[in-house]
Amino acid sequence: MDEIKEKFPEILSPKEKAEEREGLPPLSSAETGKVITRFPPEPNGYPHIGHAKAAIINSEYAKMYGGKCILRLDDTNPESERMEYHAAIKVGLDWLGVKFDIVKNTSDDMELIYQKGTELINIGKAYVCTCKREDISKNRKERISCRCSLNDIEKNNLGWKKMFEKFKPGEAIVRFRGDMKSDNAVMRDPVLFRIIDEKHYTLNDKYRIWPSYDFAVAIEDSSDGITHAFRSKEFELRKELIEAILESLNMRKPQQGFFSRLEFKGMPISKRILRPLIEEGKVSWYDDPRLPTLEALRRRGIRPEAIKKFILSLGMTKADTLAPFDALEAFNRKIVDVDSIRLFMVLKPKKLFVNNLPFSKVEIANHPTKDMGKREINIDENFYISGDDAEVIRVNSTIRLLGVGNVLITKIGANIEGEFVEGDSSDVAKIQWISEKDAHEIKILVPKQLFIEDEFNEDSLEELEALTEPQYLQLKEGKEIQFVRFGYCRKDSQAQAIFTHK
């Protein structure tokens, strides 16, 4: 060691220590004020946590560099897109609090996209292919070109024109001249345009030739001025294609970055899995609190800020993230704690008579540390306490009814009896209670993990019958509550609350 010190003193002096950073890692080639990012969802389903990740990362980078973020509805496949989804995505993003500087649709630029397609044909970088689907797929596997790729520009132009009218869907497509020998299968002369006669949800039958994802993204990202495009990892192979297309057209290329998909353990995102559950009635709808959709998360009581913090805490890793739901809960709990009213709620109610109660009403603070006011509760000798608490009570022991006082238990039978006694609260079990005369009955939905080891969990939604205070009725729907000694719940309706987390 000393020898090293003498001979190579420079290697012992530390290099710049990377500063502890907050949020996302810095971009390598970003200029403040000039960063433009984008989030391009396809309106083909309800938005979920995966959409949230893409939207938040892209908008956050724009924010970090004082740039802009574009929301671009990627509506180039009329077969699977619907206004309903388009609207749901907007609502979801709005709730998330992600702001966009520009909102547009890919289909706004169809003329541009056609123009670029024509250009590609005219420079010999694209051709019309009339092969059968199976043959194309087979050729791709075997890495061989088809006869169509030999056609000259004139013939391709003719075919291109025919696609607008004469050809039927499936009879002709436009293909990019990539490299049939490439190891990256995406490069093996991929589809640029295909014919779809289905009615588009806003444009109706205005167009019938629609660009493929890769082509639309390439053209749009470039022409929208996107400097940095972040997508999830499954698109990583498309990077090469998009760059090849833009190079052929001599168009500016954005930086492309990738991040891992995000899913919660036992909470699948895929429509392929969710749809049957809904059809079979195993989950009620896309807002069922067991689901990772934005709507479900909202209903369950998860706050947008929690989702944002959680997602930023994952960073830009490309390692697959199968996060346990409690990772999100921890963020949410801190946010929700400060403005959740504390209410009493009792499960498996057991009657408790309290003799010689010296007063007929109590005042209880709505929050232990924050000033959220107080509420007054009328009481008499008839109380309910939780069955679980009742079980551990013994004759001659003392319990404390929170906010009321100590009760010495005198008798335990079908009901429990006790008498009010003076005394301090230290060293006594403190339990919540409900006044019998105006107990309000509610149902509490407790969402659990939907799938366990790939099997649908039949017990994933527990329904609890509960008694709570009349104050519950005064709360606005959607309010977060902490039921004391139980956990956080969100008021879903006058008769139902949904368990958020402990």
Partner RNA sequence: GCUCCUGUGGUGUAGUCCGGCUAAGCAUACUGCCCUCUCAAGGCAGUGAUCUCGGGUUCAAAUCCCGACGGGAGCACCA
Return the residues of window 132-151 that contact RNA according to CB under 7 A: 132-133, 136-137, 140-141
- Least distance CB 11 / RNA (angstroms): 3
Pick the binder of RNA from 145, 157, 184, 449 (CB under 7 A): 184
- Least distance CB 78 / RNA (angstroms): 9
Subset of 24-63 contacting RNA (CB under 7 A): 25, 40-42, 44
Pick the binder of RNA from 2, 6, 9, 14 (CB under 7 A): 14
Between 160 and 235, name the residue whose CB sits nearer to RNA: 235
Give 158-166's long-range contacts (Cβ < 8 A, gap of 24+): 159/128, 159/130, 160/117, 160/118, 160/121, 160/128, 163/128, 163/193, 163/195, 163/209, 164/208, 164/209
Between 455 and 458, name the residue whose CB sits nearer to RNA: 455
Stretch touching RNA by CB under 7 A, among 149-157, 325-333, 371-379, 440-448: 325-333
Separation of alpha carbons 85 and 298, rounded Å = 17
Pick the binder of RNA from 2, 6, 15, 154 (CB under 7 A): 15
* Residues pairing with 194 in the sheet: 210
Pick the binder of RNA from 104, 351, 430, 448 (CB under 7 A): 430
Provide, for the chain, the percentages of residues in helix, strand and coil under a 3-state DSSP scheme, each rounded to the nearest 5: 35, 25, 40
- Least distance CB 337 / RNA (angstroms): 4
Separation of alpha carbons 454 and 266, rounded Å = 7
- Least distance CB 391 / RNA (angstroms): 11
Pick the binder of RNA from 30, 91, 180, 191 (CB under 7 A): 191
Greatest CA separation found in the chain? 102
Half-sphere exposure at residue 181, Cβ-oriented, CA atoms within 13 angstroms? 0
Is residue 433 a contact residue for RNA (CB under 7 A)?
Answer: no
Pick the binder of RNA from 69, 96, 186, 245 (CB under 7 A): 186
Is residue 330 a contact residue for RNA (CB under 7 A)?
Answer: yes
Q: Is 383 left (phi over 0), alpha (psi -120 to 50) or beta?
A: beta
Closest CA to 173 of 187, 186, 191: 191
| 222 CB neighbour count, 10 Å cutoff | 19
User: Which residues, in sequence order, are CB contacts of 65 under 8 Å at separation 6+?
Assistant: 27, 30, 31, 32, 33, 34, 35
Is residue 178 a contact residue for RNA (CB under 7 A)?
Answer: no
Subset of 91-130 contacting RNA (CB under 7 A): none
Q: How many residues bind RNA (CB under 7 A)?
A: 84
Separation of alpha carbons 201 and 430, rounded Å = 59
Subset of 350-409 contacting RNA (CB under 7 A): 367-369, 389, 400, 402-405
Give 135-142's long-range contacts (Cβ < 8 A, gap of 24+): 139/180, 140/180, 140/185, 140/188, 140/189
Q: Is 453 left (phi over 0), alpha (psi -120 to 50) or beta?
A: left
Pick the binder of RNA from 268, 315, 423, 470 (CB under 7 A): 315
Stretch touching RNA by CB under 7 A, among 7-15, 47-55, 90-98, 111-119: 7-15
Subset of 234-263 contacting RNA (CB under 7 A): 234-238, 260-261
Subset of 482-501 contacting RNA (CB under 7 A): 482, 484-485
- Least distance CB 17 / RNA (angstroms): 4
Between 170 and 478, name the residue whose CB sits nearer to RNA: 170
Residue 146, classed as helix, strand or coil, is coil
Is residue 328 a contact residue for RNA (CB under 7 A)?
Answer: no
Closest CA to 179 of 245, 101, 255: 245
Is residue 76 a contact residue for RNA (CB under 7 A)?
Answer: yes
